[in-house]
């Protein structure tokens, strides 16, 4: 056992010396292998980061919810141009909430502005603050946590009390760390509101900050911004995911009745399930992963040919060494193992370099799109396995050729 271990250690040392003696060709081969693995790992890392971001962002809606929104009409229907979409009104949203009789938790919201300015004393934000009107169920249904304060009560929503929940970046711009935030007054496009809560920082989603958002009551939106020609968004959370299809059908029937959609005609609204949207986005990223795999395998195939060529040249240049070792008693297996160790070392070095570069490049792309940092351990294992297979496949023939050399002939050639 100790003899075999010592022999392998010695073969590894010889392999490293041999690789060092052919530094230029070795570096070129390592570079080719690294490029293939880098392409694979970089694209997979960026894709996995995108997947993680999709899961994080859409977890706020949950996989057990669906949304009712205005239908986007375009083109023609039965030979006639489609009419412009009719907004979902405040009355329709309220009526739906009252009529729905199930285990659904319903919330409605309305987008008020995307370019508001929030001010406090002499401080002002940039004109990029999003104002959203919500009801008392919104924070629970949308799964939005608060770092400070509380949400709206039902009476505050109905009365349109000038209260506001601000995003974390607004807190940083308008308040010093030692100042009391809750109960402070701020100006929203000239109107005074009292801060009752701060949304926990959620970072960015697809390049857009989620911390530049303010939440006020729907009646406050109607009073200050008006909801004429604005459409409400209705989100329904289901207690049991197995009942989501049944709940969707029930909601469709009730809302068609509220909207006055006649039988036989399409609905004047559309319903989207959060889980189906997540699945659609994840399916789109699968194609990117497949493309990365193909590119990586093709590049590794080319690297394997280059590695085989280098090892064949190495065999022809090292005939004296092979002949001397065989004349001193080295077996065919020992010579073959020697050359196989060399190609494995080169392959694993190329894989390690490629993985390091791929992780760096992939997460650099991810940081540009402000998606999470990830390390795809499974694909790293796949990459190293591919390098091992490529090394063995390309190195076996040269190793076998070296092991079968006649020592007398080999010394004679030298």
- pLDDT classification of 58: cutoffs 50, 70, 90: low
Residue 190 · residue 107 · CB < 8 Å: no
Mean of the pLDDT values across residues 180-199? 92
- Distance (Å, rounded) from C-alpha 231 to C-alpha 184? 31
pLDDT tens column, 238-259: 877 677 778 888 888 889 898 8
User: Each residue of 353-366: b (16+ CB within 10 Å) or e?
Assistant: bbbebbbebbbebb
- pLDDT classification of 55: cutoffs 50, 70, 90: low
Place of tokens 């009942």: 243
- Distance (Å, rounded) from C-alpha 188 to C-alpha 230? 19
- Distance (Å, rounded) from C-alpha 85 to C-alpha 20? 71
355: closest CA among 37, 35, 26, 45?
37
Q: Of the given ranges (152-156, 277-281, 379-383), which has the lowest mean pLDDT?
A: 277-281
Where does 240-308 show beta strands of DSSP type E? 269-273
What is the pLDDT, as a whole number, of residue 324?
72
Q: pTM higher than 0.75 for the full model?
A: no
What is the pLDDT, as a whole number, of residue 283?
65
| Parallel/antiparallel/unpaired status of strands 213-217 and 129-134 | parallel
Q: Please check the confidence at residue 400 and state whether its pLDDT lies above 70.
A: yes
What tokens were used for 148?
Answer: 């400070």
Q: What value does the mean pLDDT of the chain take?
A: 79
Query: Which residues have CB under 8 Å from 133's CB, separation 6+?
Result: 109, 110, 111, 112, 215, 216, 217, 218, 219, 220, 221, 222, 225, 227
Mean of the pLDDT values across residues 77-83? 55
- Distance (Å, rounded) from C-alpha 19 to C-alpha 318? 12
Where in the chain are the domains?
10-57+280-413, 87-267
What is the pLDDT, as a whole number, of residue 275?
61
Q: Please check the confidence at residue 145 and state whether its pLDDT lies above 90.
A: no
- Residue 283, by phi and psi: left (phi above 0), alpha (psi -120 to 50) or beta? alpha
What is the pLDDT, as a whole number, of residue 336?
78
What is the pLDDT, as a whole number, of residue 268?
84
pLDDT tens column, 328-350: 676 777 777 777 887 788 888 88
C-alpha distances in Å from residue 80, one per residue of 71, 77, 87, 168: 17, 5, 21, 49
Residue with the bigger pLDDT between 309 and 414: it is 309
C-alpha distances in Å from residue 82, one per residue of 78, 141, 253: 9, 33, 22
| Phi, psi of 374, rounded to the nearest 5 degrees | -135, 155
| Phi, psi of 86, rounded to the nearest 5 degrees | -95, 125
């Amino acid at each position: 056992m100790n003899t075999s271990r010592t022999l392998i250690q010695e073969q590894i040392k010889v392999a490293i010396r041999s690789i060092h003696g052919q530094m230029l060709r070795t570096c070129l081969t390592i570079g080719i292998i690294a490029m293939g693995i880098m392409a694979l790992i970089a694209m997979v890392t960026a894709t996995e980061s995108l997947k993680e971001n999709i899961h994080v962002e859409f977890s706020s809606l949950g996989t057990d919810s669906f949304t009712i929104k205005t239908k986007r009409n375009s083109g023609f229907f039965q030979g006639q141009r489609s009419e412009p979409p009719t907004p979902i009104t405040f009355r329709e949203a309220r009526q739906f909430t009252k009529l729905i009789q199930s285990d659904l938790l319903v919330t409605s919201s309305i987008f008020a502005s995307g370019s508001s300015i929030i001010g406090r004393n002499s401080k002002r934000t940039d004109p990029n603050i999003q104002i959203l009107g919500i009801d008392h169920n919104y924070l629970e249904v949308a799964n939005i946590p608060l770092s400070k304060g509380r949400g709206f009560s039902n009476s505050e929503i109905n009365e349109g009390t000038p209260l506001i929940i601000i995003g974390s970046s607004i807190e940083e711009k308008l308040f010093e760390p030692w100042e009391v935030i809750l109960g402070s007054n701020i100006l929203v496009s000239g109107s005074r509101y009292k801060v009752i809560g701060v949304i926990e920082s959620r970072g960015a989603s697809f390049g857009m900050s989620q911390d530049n958002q303010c939440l006020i009551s729907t009646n406050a939106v109607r009073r200050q911004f008006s909801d004429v020609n604005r459409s409400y968004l209705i989100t329904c959370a289901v207690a049991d995911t197995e009942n989501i299809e049944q709940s969707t059908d029930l909601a469709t029937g009730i809302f068609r009745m509220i909207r006055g959609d006649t039988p036989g005609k399409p609905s004047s609204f559309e319903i989207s399930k959060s889980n189906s949207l997540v699945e659609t986005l994840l399916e789109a990223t699968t194609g990117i992963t497949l493309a990365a795999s193909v590119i990586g395998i093709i590049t590794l195939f080319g690297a394997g040919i280059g590695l085989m060529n280098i090892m064949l040249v190495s065999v022809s240049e090292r005939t004296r060494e092979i002949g001397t070792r065989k004349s001193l008693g080295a077996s065919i297996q020992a010579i073959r193992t020697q050359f196989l160790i060399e190609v494995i070392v080169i392959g694993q070095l190329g894989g390690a370099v490629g993985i390091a570069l791929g992780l760096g490049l992939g997460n650099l792309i991810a940081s540009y799109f402000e998606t999470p940092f990830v390390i795809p351990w499974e694909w790293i294992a796949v990459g190293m396995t591919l390098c091992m297979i490529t090394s063995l496949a390309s190195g076996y023939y040269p190793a076998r050729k070296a092991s079968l050399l006649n020592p007398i002939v080999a010394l004679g050639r030298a």
